[in-house]
Every structure is written in structure tokens, then in C-alpha cells.
Amino acid sequence: MKKKYHIYLTYEERQEIVHALNDKRNALINTGHYTDVIDEILIKVMNAKVNKVRVKEV
């Protein structure tokens, strides 16, 4: 049975992850390595559903 994990990111955090994955992908392409795993993660992050969540500060 697969476990699902949920993380809640702000717009800026999400953009930072996309940029970091893209930089890693470019580095792998330059060295001639496969980028299949990075591509899958990048697609998942970019196509992830966006939910608005209220945060109650204490």
C-alpha cells in the first residue's frame, strides 16, 4: 500500500522548487546523465492541485 504525503507550500516556495529541479535537470543534461526521475517530479510539482488553506496563527 502506497502512503500519500501532502505538503503545503506558498507560491514562492513552489517556484523555488521548480527552479531548483530545473537547474538540477540542466546539470544532468550537461553531464550526459538521464533526467527521467527529475522530469517526473517536475511534472508532478507543476501539475499539483492548488488549494487555499486558512492558517490560524497562535
Q: 8-55: per-residue pLDDT in tens?
A: 888 899 999 999 999 999 999 999 999 999 999 999 999 988 888 787
Domain limits of the chain? 11-46
Q: pTM (2 decimals)?
A: 0.77
Over 23-44, what HEC string results? HHHHHHHHHCCCCHHHHHHHHH
Crossing angle of helices 11-31/36-46, nearest 10°? 160
In angstroms, what CA-CA distances link 27 with 18, 24, 31, 35?
14, 5, 6, 10
Cβ atoms of 42 and 21 within 8 Å: the answer is yes
